[in-house]
């Protein structure tokens, strides 16, 4: 108790002698004044920094997992930066002032993957920075020893770190494919096969685009860019399933209540959607049958007359298509 009281007295003494609060405004990183004691160097480290969430699970090339749980620091001008791979990036102002700034510049989130290579580690959801959160991208480069080599702030509250390590010196050390479990490697193989088929086979429909008729024309036909987007989507989903990338939050990208327009990028997607629709159709038919509502069997092959809204159809088909007949029913 006595020691604690002494600590408080010491603290008050330092506060009294330290720079006036106005000096805080000059600090590079502090935007809001911190609550007294929140970033207090006399309090244990853990109670000073409040992470917004837990880090993502360790993922990526297995030979990098040994970096987990370690931390590497770099002192640059008046700041000490600390990078804890697969955990966090923090910044600590090197000063004896009572309100020295300590902050979280990012929590391990996901890999950046470019050209099928692990390009860097994204650490996001750091301390608030105006309406956003601080975030850091850590680039891994070959070096003689594990070392945080460089820190910069290319745009406000986005930090770029360079971490040197002998673990990435082999030219294949950051390739994504060898890091994947065999089941996902097979999925990637299939995606490559699909892509190749779309490039060379005339029969394959590609997102509604059919190759032109005629052998020569079909041979020179190239998959339109959105089919490659389909391939990229397959890969993205695969990287998400591997835990390398995080699925973007629906609430952020899709407006409230906004329905996603289905876009079939591959034959596989389209077949799956068709299968689901056929299943739903069977379910609806059975509901109609259950309620003793007569219904006609829709034409399986030629559906053009059902699609064309100008074509007059008999009342039953109209009812089935427009669904008004079921409105009053409890399903
Ligand atoms: C940052 O990561 C290190 C290493 O895993 C951990 O000990 C420390 O508590 C973390 N700091 C914060 C503020 O989460
Ligand atoms: C992509 O990676 C391959 C093989 O790793 C390399 O040969 C090629 O130059 C890279 N391309 C780009 C644009 O970085």
Question: What are the tens digits of pLDDT across the range 232-282?
Answer: 888 999 999 999 999 886 434 434 344 444 556 667 777 878 888 888 888
Q: 134 CA distance to ligand 1 centroid (A)?
A: 16
Which atom of ligand 1 is least distant from the CA of 69?
Answer: 5
- Tell me which ligand sits closest to the C-alpha of residue 83: 1
**Contact partners, residue 149, CB within 8 Å, separation at least 6:** 74, 141, 143, 162, 163, 164
Q: Is the pLDDT of residue 39 over 60?
A: no
Q: 66 CA distance to ligand 2 centroid (A)?
A: 27
pLDDT at 327: 41
pLDDT at 298: 53
Helices (H), the chain: 2-17, 45-48, 182-200, 215-220, 225-241, 250-253, 267-290, 304-307, 315-322
3-state secondary structure of 73: strand
3-state secondary structure of 90: strand
Q: Which DSSP state fits 178?
A: G
Q: 327 CA distance to ligand 2 centroid (A)?
A: 57
Residue nearest to atom 11 of ligand 1 (CA): 88
Residue nearest to atom 13 of ligand 1 (CA): 49
Half-sphere exposure (Cβ direction) of 326: Cα atoms closer than 13 Å: 21
d(C-alpha 105, C-alpha 268), whole Å = 42
Q: Is the pLDDT of residue 86 over 50?
A: yes
Q: DSSP per residue over 108-151, as a string?
A: EEEEEEETTEEEEEEEE--SEETTEE-EEEEEEEE-SS-EEEEE
Q: 62 CA distance to ligand 2 centroid (A)?
A: 22
Instruction: Tell me if 90 sits within 8 A of 16, measured CB to CB.
Output: no
What is the CB < 6 Å shell around ligand 1? 49, 51, 69, 71, 84, 87-88, 90, 104
Please give the backbone phi and psi of residue 313, each rounded to the nearest 5 degrees, phi first.
-130, 165
Residue nearest to atom 14 of ligand 1 (CA): 51
Q: What percent of the chain has pLDDT over 70?
A: 60
Residue nearest to atom 7 of ligand 1 (CA): 69
Mean pLDDT of the chain: 74
d(C-alpha 205, C-alpha 190), whole Å = 17
Is the four-CA dihedral 61, 62, 64, 68 of positive or negative sign? positive
d(C-alpha 312, C-alpha 315), whole Å = 9
Q: 64 CA distance to ligand 2 centroid (A)?
A: 21
């Amino acid at each position: 108790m006595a020691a604690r009281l002494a600590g408080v007295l010491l603290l008050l003494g330092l506060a009294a002698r330290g720079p006036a609060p106005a000096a805080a405004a000059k600090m590079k990183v502090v935007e809001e004044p911190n609550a007294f004691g929140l970033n207090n160097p006399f309090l244990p480290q853990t109670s000073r920094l409040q992470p917004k969430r837990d880090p993502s699970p360790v993922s990526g090339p297995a030979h990098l997992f040994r970096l987990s749980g370690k931390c590497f620091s770099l002192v640059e001008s008046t700041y000490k930066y600390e990078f804890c791979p697969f955990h966090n990036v923090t910044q600590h102002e090197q000063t004896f002032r009572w309100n020295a700034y300590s902050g979280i510049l990012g929590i391990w989130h996901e890999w950046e993957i470019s050209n099928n290579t692990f390009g860097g580690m994204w650490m996001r959801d750091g301390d608030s920075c105006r309406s956003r959160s601080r975030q850091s991208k850590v680039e891994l480069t070959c070096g003689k020893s594990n070392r945080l080599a460089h820190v910069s702030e290319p745009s406000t509250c986005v930090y770029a770190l360079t971490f040197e390590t002998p673990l990435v010196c082999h030219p294949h050390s950051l390739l994504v494919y060898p890091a994947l479990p065999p089941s996902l490697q097979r999925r990637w193989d299939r995606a490559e096969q699909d892509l190749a088929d779309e490039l060379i086979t005339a029969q394959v429909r590609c997102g509604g685009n059919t190759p032109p008729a005629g052998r020569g024309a079909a041979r020179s036909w190239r998959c339109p860019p959105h089919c490659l987007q389909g391939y990229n989507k397959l890969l993205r989903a695969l990287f998400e399933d591997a835990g390398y990338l995080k699925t973007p939050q629906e609430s952020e990208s899709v407006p409230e209540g906004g329905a996603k327009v289905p876009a079939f990028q591959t034959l596989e997607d389209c077949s799956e959607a068709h299968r689901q629709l056929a299943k739903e159709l069977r379910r609806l038919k059975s509901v109609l049958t259950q309620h003793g509502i007569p219904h006609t069997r829709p034409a399986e092959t030629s559906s053009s007359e059902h699609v064309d809204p100008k074509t007059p159809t008999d009342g039953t088909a109209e009812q089935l298509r427009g669904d008004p007949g079921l409105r009053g029913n409890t399903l």
